Amino acid sequence: MSRRRVIQCALGGSASVLLSNQPLFAETAAPAATPPPRPARAKSVIQIWLWGGPCHLDTFDPKPEAGTDYCGPFGKPLETKVAGIRINELLPVLASQADKFSILRGMTHGINAHETASYVMQTGHPEGDRIVYPSVGAVVSLFKGRAAGYQGQIPPYIVLTEPQGRFSEAGFLGSRYKPFATGGNPAKTPFAVEGIVAEGFSEERQRARRDLLHRMDTLAKDMPQHPAIAAMRRCEDDAYDLILGNGAKTFDLNQETPELRDKYGRSTFGQSCLMARRLVELGVPYITINYKGWDTHKQHFQIMRRQLPEMDKGVGTLIEDLASHGLLDSTIVWWGGEFGRTPKVQNESPWNGGRSHYGKAFCSMVAGGGFKGGQVVGATDARGEEVASRPIYPWDLVGSIYELLGIDTEATLPHPLGLTARVMPGKEEKLKSGGRLHEIM
Amino acid sequence: MPREPYEASSFSVPPCRIDAIIFTRLAKDGLVPALPCSDAVFVRRVFLDLIGTLPTGDEVAAFLSDKASDKRNKLVDTLFKRDEFADYWAMKWCDLLRVKAEFPVNLWPNPAQAYHRLVHTCLADNLSMDRFARGLLTASGSNMRVPQANFFRAVQSREPRSLAAAVSLVFMGVRQDSWTPAELDSLAVFFSRVGYKSTMEWKEEIVFFDEAKPAAKGPVNMPDGQLLPVPPERDPRSVFADWLIQPNNPWFARNLANRAWYWLLGRGLVHEPDDVRKNNPPSHPELLAYLEKEFVSHGYDMRHLLRLIVNSRTYQLSCIPVGDNPRTLELFGAYPIRRLDAEVLIDAICAVTGTGESYSSAIPEPFTFLPDGSRAIALPDGSISSSFLELFGRPARDSGFESERNSNPSAAQRLHFLNSSQIRSKIEKSSSLGKLLRNTGAPNNTATQLYTDILCRPPTETEKSLVREVLGAATNRKEALIDLTWALFNTTEFLCRH
């Protein structure tokens, strides 16, 4: 078996050929990827997950006419590059890129609890009774990862920088489809990617240590053929391929110009966006940027003043940069959180100017990979409280993303217990739906 | 020839019924069991398997120097009395019972903690398993005041069929899909009158026998062929419990005996351990029947089962199989090498380095934070976690299947151990490193301390000379000690039960 093959198996690709004769360490086999129903437009996805729920009124669906009870201090939205589309006044970079992305103002699911809303948004499945579905990233790494020919050394599903932790991303697919979380902080030098980049350790010391480990591993030396020990050894080989191979170079943001790094913003979020572009260049199919800090029950507007410019520089520059590298056509950028926030500002104690969870109406944004730019899909009412036209349910959005990736939404997923589970909910589930986003695809 | 330091030349325990069955079966296939494990291997193994905790250097030394011939049996009995025994087994039981505050089970933090506490107390008091099961199956009351009542809340659907499926998985080891629809419908009758209502107290919920729901129309056809009357005035759950917990019920005792075997020896006699069905027969039917009979005749005493198994020669085999036929491992001809469970592994690192971890649950609000230095095996709620636990395959407690716990090794886990800041900083801050740095004495003492602290055994002569060589060649003693510690943490011996 080739080295490449070994890495693929261990770092969460598919094909469990390697492990098939080892009862103790065997895993359930992944299926062969079903042939896509139509050619894929997109090769990669960058999911910008605003953890906690960003307010639709204060980002891509401003409502200055509703008055300060609703829009707070943000009464002067920016006109964007696309006539008639306005966004929050603190988002000038995004405004200058508005021809490249589309705003989904009709998002709705009606769930106000973080956990359940995150599950529904990140899986595209309604809350079920006994099946916990995998997240979009896990599904993409199943269908676009090793089995579909992804050859990179970097695992196919990367999280910058911490896992979301609100539900099990891999769902029933199991832990080999979990994302690789980088840890560390890309705004620092070096970007100490957990496990791959160890600050202050020369390559020479790494090699010397590995040699020492082999000399000291008495039990393994006694029986290298034991299936459990052989499996451990394969994992070690794969790990060192990343430590001593190209892994470290990939994550070295100093390979980019200081000007570009400044443009993204030297924040953890901004540099994560830049890192995501580098990963897309290497062909990594799915990258999630977990962006914390959007659950703003209190001090909402103070936090927005600080955070919106940071978000704007990161996302706006990412879209521009992807386009200038010729990558935007094949890369979906998906921006959003689990829900929106209460349109009417909560001025009463203890919130004193905060916004709560709001799943009835909110917005997301998509760009690239076959999504048209400069469009608005759906609309909320005058106060942003109800979807007034063209509702978009989580499965409408997620199904559209799969379509662009060429993933058959009718395909079955391998359930370890053989239960029937499909990529997207079928018609028999009779879910409310506004339909996939064909108007912008 | 026994291999140093893992094997001994003779057994320390007499042969028992388990061994007769296992060794005969191996011989039938022309297979030979491994040699007996050494005392040093046994002490670490039995600590990890019974209390999910590494022995300290002192505990190892005391055991090794004990000359009593029955010291292994005595050690087992002392372990049952340790607090960590209840911690570790409560962890396993709470995996099956899906004790988790949040999605998708949604017990909510207070009830989850109360539920965990109840399970923990039952295990610490060694409540017989028939009473334990009956308590869960028949409880009515508030989720906060009657923790048992959470059994019927720790499900994603409250349809009678789903409740029946949850009961059948935990207490019968049978998966929903192994029943025919008619069988499942029969079982569902017993859970068709479970009621739920909320109270004025935030997140309080009462589970009760809802007499307003229709009673069974007649006797129920049970999967064992019995025709069971369900009187309308009785809570049908208690009728079910009476049926389930009787000595000749073909599922209850057998399921727990099979799980006990699986928990200790890594593979069920029926494999997978929660997949009992007609066309999945046990590898050793006679042994399963024997364990089941012992369990029932000893009043459903779980410790009796565990004691029988760990005091057997089969359990006390070394992990080095004779020959390379994979059947040897499937037929229990050697102790199975398994990566330590996520919780046990992080606790072991913390204990050896004298460092702590902090655990919290960011969901639901209000957040839960545990005091620094809390042990992972004692975490009360599946929603309280850490990235280490996630990486090393702690079960999400979504389904209650044993296979949800993933102790397979992965490259990402190896990266974490080889090179992460977490492990590096634990080694650098470790109290034993400090001790080694202050003690500039003989390299042999250094080797002894390193090996006893980390691998729970003294070093062999070869290992001592290797340590001498490394320290002798080092220009920076601290760096050399860090590298030695790091290397031992990364050995198969440390990372695995063996």
Q: What is the dihedral of CA A85, A88, A90, A94, to 10 degrees?
A: -40
pLDDT at B406: 87
**Which of helix, strand or coil describes residue B167?**
helix
Dihedral sign, CA of A345, A348, A353, A356?
negative
Domain that includes residue B427, residue range: 412-497
User: Are B183 and B327 contained in the same domain?
Assistant: yes
Contacts of B418 in chain A (CB under 8 A): 195, 236, 239-240, 243
Give how far the C-alpha of residue B258 lies from the chain's centroid of Cα atoms, to the nearest Å. Answer: 13
Q: Is residue B344 part of a domain?
A: no
Q: Is residue B277 part of a domain?
A: yes
For the stretch B390-442, pLDDT in tens is 889 999 898 899 988 988 888 889 999 999 999 999 999 998 888 888 877 67
pLDDT at A24: 27
Nearest Cα residue to B130 out of B290, B249, B301: B301
Specify the range with the lowest mean pLDDT, choosing from A152-156, B359-363, B489-493.
Answer: B359-363
Residue pair B220/B228 in contact by the 8 Å Cβ criterion: yes
Q: In terms of DSSP bridges, do strands B205-209 and B141-142 run parallel, antiparallel, or are they unpaired?
A: antiparallel
Is the ipTM, as predicted for this complex, more than 0.90? Answer: yes
CB contact under 8 A, A21 and B491: no
The domain boundary residue, chosen from B304, B337, B370: B337
Domain count within chain A: 1
Which pair of structure tokens corresponds to residue A438? 């064909």
Can you give A79-97 as a three-state secondary structure string?
ECCCCCCEECCCCHHHHHC
**CATH code of A176's domain:** 3.40.720.10
Which pair of structure tokens corresponds to residue B394? 């702690």
Residue with tokens 């061994």: B19
Q: Is residue B4 part of a domain?
A: no
CB contact under 8 A, B338 and A228: yes
Residue pair A108/A360 in contact by the 8 Å Cβ criterion: yes
Contacts of A219 in chain B (CB under 8 A): 6, 319, 491-493, 498
The domain boundary residue, chosen from B337, B369, B391: B337
User: Are B417 and B323 contained in the same domain?
Assistant: no
Domain that includes residue A323, residue range: 43-197+251-440
pLDDT at A130: 63
Domain count within chain B: 2
Around Cβ B83, how many Cβ atoms within 10 Å?
Answer: 13
Nearest Cα residue to A223 out of B39, B417, B331, B335: B335
Alpha helix (H) residue ranges in A113-167 = 114-123, 136-144
Residue pair B256/B133 in contact by the 8 Å Cβ criterion: no
pLDDT at A166: 60
User: Are B75 and B187 contained in the same domain?
Assistant: yes
pLDDT at A167: 66
User: Are B201 and B304 contained in the same domain?
Assistant: yes
C-alpha atoms less than 13 angstroms from C-alpha of B186 in its C-beta half-sphere: 17
Cβ-in-10-Å burial (0-12, 13-18, 19+) of B229 comes to exposed
Q: Is residue A280 part of a domain?
A: yes
Terminal Cα distance for chain A, rounded: 42
Give the nearest partner residue to A115 out of B364, B406, B483, using CB atoms.
B364
**Which of helix, strand or coil describes residue B57?**
helix
Dihedral sign, CA of A402, A408, A410, A414?
negative
What does the alpha-carbon distance between residue B192 and residue B41 come to, in Å, rounded to a whole number?
Answer: 51
Cα dist from A390 to A57, A380, B57, B144, B271, whole Å: 18, 9, 68, 44, 51
What does the alpha-carbon distance between residue B253 and residue B473 come to, in Å, rounded to a whole number?
Answer: 59
For the stretch B329-357, pLDDT in tens is 999 999 999 999 999 999 999 999 999 99
What does the alpha-carbon distance between residue B136 and residue B228 come to, in Å, rounded to a whole number?
Answer: 21
User: Are B88 and B202 contained in the same domain?
Assistant: yes
Q: Is residue B397 part of a domain?
A: no
Q: What integer is the mean pLDDT of B200-228?
A: 94
Contacts of B466 in chain A (CB under 8 A): 215-216
User: Are B279 and B426 contained in the same domain?
Assistant: no
Q: A residues 225-244 near B, CB within 8 Å?
A: 225-229, 231-232, 235-236, 238-240, 242-243
What does the alpha-carbon distance between residue A136 and residue A387 come to, in Å, rounded to a whole number?
Answer: 25
For the stretch A100-146, pLDDT in tens is 999 999 999 999 998 889 999 999 999 875 678 999 999 999 999 88
Terminal Cα distance for chain B, rounded: 19
Q: Is residue A414 part of a domain?
A: yes
> Is the model's pLDDT at A29 over the cut of 60?
no
The domain boundary residue, chosen from B301, B318, B337: B337
Give the nearest partner residue to B420 out of A195, A215, A417, using CB atoms.
A195
User: Are B137 and B25 contained in the same domain?
Assistant: yes
Secondary structure percentages of chain A, helix, strand, coil, to 5: 35, 15, 50
* Probe site for chain A from B394, B419, B481 (most A CB atoms < 10 A): B419
Q: Is residue A399 part of a domain?
A: yes
User: Are B39 and B140 contained in the same domain?
Assistant: yes
